[in-house]
Amino acid sequence: MKIISIANQKGGVAKTTTTMNLAAGLVRKGKSVLCVDFDPQSNLSDYLGYKAQDNLPTISELMMATATMQRTDVGQSIRHNVEGVDYIPSSILLSSADVFLSQVMCREQVLKRILSAPEVQLYDYVLIDCLPSLGILLTNALTASDAVLIPVQAQKFSLDGLAQLAQVIEMVKTQINPQLAICGVLLTMADNTNMSRAVEEALHGMFEDNVFATKIRRSVEAANSTYEHRSLVSRPKSKLGSEYMAVVEELLERGV
Ligand SMILES: Nc1ncnc2c1ncn2[C@@H]1O[C@H](COP(=O)(O)OP(=O)(O)OP(=O)(O)O)[C@@H](O)[C@H]1O
Ligand SMILES: [Mg+2]
């Protein structure tokens, strides 16, 4: 079982779009995948088709209960998406994590404890869709993960926060989780502008071979896909879908 965080503290860089499409792509490759929506905005849950109508726990209740050492039933919180992706949804309650984790011992390790449940260990992959922040929820995700995948939007200012993110990854690695590694940097929303090419070049300079050979281009397909709650990889003629499948192939080739 491999746990991968999809992280970048910058907002709107395609973390959620990437999580959904890698998950659905891995399922198409015969892998079993559990997604964890770890953002109180719950965009991934919505993309996956979740409707908050049941009274079953979300990741927020699991985090709160685990933080206070209460027993939880992780299996009960796992939902099933029509494309075969399993997931634990999020809710707005997760936005109070700073408060409910503030007095907790080993507060970076709460998600790791949740994901150590036997029901979770059965999956080939767990993908964690992180929120755009460098706070305690990100450190929880990184502490629980084997690898982190960083989507970077081909835009001005996109590189500004990357050194800071790399620092947080390094800190988690040296202090709590020595096995943590960056499994790839993915250029998203690329187009034919000089800016896009400049970001791509700079990324190769910073991360060298760790940048995926595949880049994700800018297309309205992405918005349509979230609206329809269907992955891009499930659409037969989708350009973005085939790009995301190529990223899945690269991940598998890298042995992630
Ligand atoms: N390749 C793409 N081309 C065009 N638009 C895209 C592409 N990928 C994602 N988008 C759109 O960009 C917006 C942000 O994408 P997404 O929600 O995946 O980013 P995010 O990093 O998860 O954002 P947040 O930081 O808010 O969680 C969405 O409206 C999405 O549909
Ligand atoms: Mg998101």
Question: Is the confidence at residue 54, as pLDDT, over 90?
Answer: no
Residue 188: CB within 6 Å of ligand 1? Answer: yes
Tokens of 163: 């050194």
Contact between 154 and 194 under an 8 Å Cβ cutoff? The reply is no
Question: Is the sign of the CA dihedral 238, 243, 248, 253 positive or negative?
Answer: positive
Fill in the amino acid letter for 79: R
To test the ligand 1 pocket, which listed residue (16, 41, 138, 149) has its Cβ within 8 A of the most ligand atoms? 16
CA distance linking residue 180 with residue 159, whole number of Å: 21
Q: Which CATH architecture has domain 2-253?
A: 3-Layer(aba) Sandwich (3.40)
Residue 78: CB within 6 Å of ligand 1? Answer: no
Report the share of the chain in percent with pLDDT over 70.
100
Q: What is the pLDDT of residues 103-112, one digit of tens each?
A: 999 999 999 9
Question: Is the sign of the CA dihedral 190, 195, 201, 205 positive or negative?
Answer: negative
Mean pLDDT of the region 8-26? 98
Question: Is the confidence at residue 244, as pLDDT, over 90?
Answer: yes
Q: What's the CA-to-centroid distance between 153 and ligand 1, angstroms?
A: 9
Kindly give, in sequence order, each residue whose CB lies less than 8 Å from that of residue 97, ignoring residues fewer than 6 positions away.
63, 135, 136, 137
Residue 243: CB within 6 Å of ligand 1? Answer: no
Question: By three-state DSSP, how is residue 123 classified?
Answer: coil
Looking at residue 146, what is its pLDDT? 98
Q: What is the pLDDT of residues 55-103, one digit of tens each?
A: 899 999 999 999 999 999 999 999 999 999 999 999 999 999 999 999 9
Strand pairing of 86-88 and 79-80? antiparallel
- Split at pLDDT 50, 70, 90, the class of 157 is confident
- Split at pLDDT 50, 70, 90, the class of 142 is very high
Mean pLDDT of the region 189-195? 96
Looking at residue 101, what is its pLDDT? 95
Looking at residue 156, what is its pLDDT? 86
Question: Is the confidence at residue 198, as pLDDT, over 90?
Answer: yes
DSSP summary character for residue 91: -
Query: Can you give the residue ranges of every domain in the chain?
Result: 2-253
How many of the other CB atoms lie within 10 Å of CB of 191? 12
Mean pLDDT of the region 144-168? 95
